Amino acid sequence: MDNCIFCKIGRREIPKEFTFEDEDIMVFPDINPVKPIHLLIIPKTHIKEFHALDNPVLFEKLGKVILQMIVKMELQTKGYRVVINGGGAQVVDHLHIHLMGPIAKAASV
Ligand code: 5GP
Ligand code: ZN
**Domain coordinates of the chain in residue numbers?**
5-101
Quick check: 2 and 23 in contact, CB under 8 A? Answer: no
Using the mean position of ligand 1's atoms as its centre, give its distance from the Cα of residue 98 in Å. 9
In this structure, which topology does domain 5-101 adopt according to CATH?
Answer: HIT family, subunit A (3.30.428)
96 is catalytic: yes
Write out pLDDT tens, residues 39-77. Answer: 999 999 999 999 999 999 999 999 999 999 999 999 999
pTM equals 0.96
Q: What is the pLDDT of residues 69-106, one digit of tens each?
A: 999 999 999 999 999 999 999 999 999 999 999 999 87
Measure 91 CA to ligand 2 centroid, in angstroms.
12
For a mutational test of ligand 1's pocket, the pick from 6, 11, 26, 32, i.e. the residue with the most ligand atoms closer than 8 A to its C-beta, is 32
The candidate with the shortest Cα–Cα distance to 43, out of 16, 17, 62, is 62
